[in-house]
Chains A and B, each alone.
Chain A
Amino acid sequence: MDTVSQLQRQFVDHTTSLYREGFVDDQFTQLQKLQDENSPDFVVEVVTLFFDDCEKLINNMARALEQQQEVDFKQVDASVHQLKGSSSSIGAMRVKNVCVTFRTFCEAQNREGCLRCLQQVNREYSLLKNKLQTLFRLEQQIVAAGGTIPAVE
């Protein structure tokens, strides 16, 4: 198997596992459909914006939850709500699902529950970031080696 085929194989496997393990959902597929020769880096750009948002929001949540005295759960919830929205928009399913749970703890004003969710959100965000960076790297390598990116059903 030559380099391109190997890379393509890896790409297909990696993409399949992303979906199978629930890291991304159909909305991610929708995003890829918006990418074409007029906007060749669209997915990378959107995902980058999402990760920037993530970091900012996670920091907001952490700061709000760190408050020793009165935790402003409304503020935490506002950030979670925003994160839920963005993650939904790009198809980051696992991140979104944690946000759903997170919100119930905010509503219940449960600090411990919130802190656990914050940890989970952080973890899911990091995992997703790694996996997508791998995906983008594979794409770049395939193109650099003169191949085309395979379509994955």
Chain B
Amino acid sequence: MAVAAGEVFASGSQELHVLAVDDSNADRKIIERLLKISSCKVTAVESGTRALQFLGLDGEKHSLGYNGLKVNLIMTDYSMPGMTGYELLKKIKNILTRIDRCLEEGAEEFLVKPVKLSDVKRLKEFILKGEAEGSGERRVCKRNLEDDSHCSSSSLSSPSSSSSLPSSSPTHKEACDDDLAASEPYSPTSPLHPSKRHKWLNRD
């Protein structure tokens, strides 16, 4: 049994990127082929843990949204050793729900701790690119999102981090308390964008 969750995002010339999770080598190869034949980009991993790592939701390393590995759909086997498909989807949904709430309140992106220099660099480019494409007013907040096991009270970033963002253009910046790194959406394609168009597909 496989369950699929996430946002199905078909955007004309753009390829759907599917993250397939299955502990069986044969099954992984089959699903990979099926998806490739259907003109999808596929990343096949062998476990829930690997899937979370790939999505950048394991609390390690990189920040989701800036690694260019946007995933439109997650398809996972249900019974796997370690983390079942159900547990994986629950984890993802939990993290996304938290992110979602922040995004709905005005933030546009987020970073996962620990934050690195490259994160801030990419954030800067992201914002500058947006400004170049002529977006209007934006609200910029900064917050680091910790993973499930940590309480939100410890996740507030220091106020000094918001001041590191560029202020070269006529944009309006606001530092909020419970901040989330953000800029106005100038691109309709956001990585695993959970807000608004949030849709969960469950299929037996």
Contact = CB atoms under 8 A, between A and B. Distances in A.
B79 interface: yes
A60 to B, nearest CB: 12
A45 interface: yes
A31 B131 CA distance: 49
Interface stretch (A7-15, A83-91, A104-112): A83-91
A25 interface: no
B26 A46 contact: yes
B79 A46 contact: no
Nearest to B37: A34
B34 A86 contact: no
Given A34-B37, A81-B79, A46 B30 contact: yes
Contacts of A81: 79
Interface in A1-57: 31, 34, 39, 42, 45-46, 49-50, 52-53
Interface in B37-54: 37
Q: Interface of chain B, helix or strand or loop or mixed? A: helix
Contacts of A85: 24, 27, 79
B33 interface: yes
A89 B27 contact: yes
Nearest to A89: B27
Interface in A53-92: 53, 78, 81-82, 85-86, 89-90
| A contact residues, range | 10 to 19
A45 B33 CA distance: 11
A31 B27 CA distance: 11
B29 interface: yes
A50 B30 CA distance: 11
A100 to B, nearest CB: 16
Interface in B70-92: 79, 81
A64 B37 CA distance: 40
Contacts of A42: 29, 33
B168 interface: no
Contacts of A45: 29
A90 B31 CA distance: 11
A49 to B, nearest CB: 4
B169 interface: no
Interface string B12-30: 0000000000011111011
7 contacts: A42-B29, A42-B33, A45-B29, A82-B23, A89-B26, A89-B30, A90-B30
Interface of B: 23-27, 29-30, 33-34, 37, 79, 81
